[in-house]
Structure 1
Amino acid sequence: MSNSYAQPIFRTADLSEGLRIVEQLLAIADLRDLEVDFDARVSSADVLTALLEVLPRASWFGEEGTGDSSEGDDPWAHLPVRLRGFGQPPEKVQPFLNAVGGSPATVRWDFMGWPEAPEIGLGVGGARGAFVTLCMHVRDLELEEPAPDHTVFVHVKEIEAERAPWLAAQVGLSVIGDLVMAPD
């Protein structure tokens, strides 16, 4: 499996504005096989309870190096935890956003591919590297740099790095940071 590369294209304190940009990007993508992945750093029992109601089969591991879902441990006994839900339907996005509150989190939309970009010499982009991520209350994809705002990243294949600024331009934006390797 190879990683995608991601580049930030939009930052805002208004989560609805971040979602608007995501929707614009998804409108130009090939959405066959659309699914969503969730990732959150959770330190509150109330937030953990709410997230597990939305994602009852989510995996988790204790950030202190103890406990995880594969062992059948009690996540409340191991706070703070990192909670992940993969391959979810898009209908889970709003309930996840409601549940996560102010916790650092990401939502990543995974789909079939990006459109052809003939102006920069690129054909249709395949599924590897075709993602959009919305980072909430954090600046990075690893959930390590807390922030008061939210950032939208586009993902591309490393050999098609020029697709990221092209995608940003398709929604009236430009890149605002470096291209970085995204976590699996």
Structure 2
Amino acid sequence: MSNSYAQAVLRTTDVAEALRVAGQLLDLANTGELEVDFEARVSTIRELERLSGVMPNADWWSYGADRRGSSRNGDSPSECLPIFMSRWCMAQEDVEAFLAAAGNVPAMVRWDFSGWPEAPEVGLGPGGTRGAYVTVCVNARDLYLEEPATDHTVFVHVKQVEAQRAAWLAARVGLEVIGELHMAPL
């Protein structure tokens, strides 16, 4: 497991706007190798059914004070709610269906790619795969999906030693960074 460092660049109540900004950031990136990961916090059977349809064979585990099950143990997710679901290496084409299934559930889409471009204005060469992500968190303010919200947040991920790249990337899409840089375990 490695860590990236993430900084918010947009908060909006419009999911389409969040996806548009994520797309603009991805247009800057080296996406020759692109993976898309989905995660969601699920509290009800109905949410579980909707998300299971777009996240087949997802890993999941119970969360909260009464943790009592996981996919690893072969437990039934419907008997262990609330759960956290995760599915890695999904197709880019699945993003809209995932977000539609998520509805008002705290969820996130993370794009993992080959690297960020050179940022000569801040003295940085091209970035490598470590720390090269864009994340859209819907119905949540944080990367852990622990802070429910009625808006959605777009994060750029960078290496900690290249923190200035986050502001540089935000400026490239007409935005500014919001708040501090936060460690984001992957």
Q: Distance in 1 between matches of 2:181 and 2:157?
A: 9
Backbone CA RMSD of aligned residues: 0.8
Identity fraction in percent: 57
Deviation readout 1:56-113 (Å, 9 max, x if unpaired): 1110011131110011111001111100001212112111101111001111000000
Q: Give 1:85-96 correspondences, 5 Å limit.
A: 85-96=87-98
Q: Are the counterparts in 2 of residues 141 and 183 from structure 1 also a CA contact under 8 Å?
A: no
Look up the equivalent residue of 1:29 and give its one-letter code.
Answer: A
Q: Distance in 2 between matches of 1:72 and 1:52?
A: 15
Q: Distance in 2 between matches of 1:177 and 1:14?
A: 20
Q: Are the counterparts in 1 of residues 41 and 145 from structure 2 also a CA contact under 8 Å?
A: yes
Look up the equivalent residue of 1:10 and give its one-letter code.
Answer: L
- TM-score with structure 1 length normalisation? 0.98
| Structure 2 residue runs without a partner (length 5+) | none
Runs (4 or more) in structure 1 with deviation over 3 Å come to none
Aligned to 1:102, the other structure's residue is in SS state coil
1:183 Cα deviation after fit = 2.1
Look up the equivalent residue of 1:82 and give its one-letter code.
Answer: F
| Structure 1 residue runs without a partner (length 5+) | none
Q: Are the counterparts in 2 of residues 61 and 83 from structure 1 also a CA contact under 8 Å?
A: yes
- TM-score with structure 2 length normalisation? 0.97
In the other structure, the counterpart of 2:138 is 136
In the other structure, the counterpart of 2:79 is 77
Q: Give 1:48-59 correspondences, 5 Å limit.
A: 48-59=48-59
Look up the equivalent residue of 1:36 and give its one-letter code.
Answer: V
Deviation readout 1:99-137 (Å, 9 max, x if unpaired): 111001111000000011011110100010000000111
Q: Distance in 1 between matches of 2:55 and 2:147?
A: 24
Between Structure 1 and Structure 2, how many residues are aligned?
A: 184
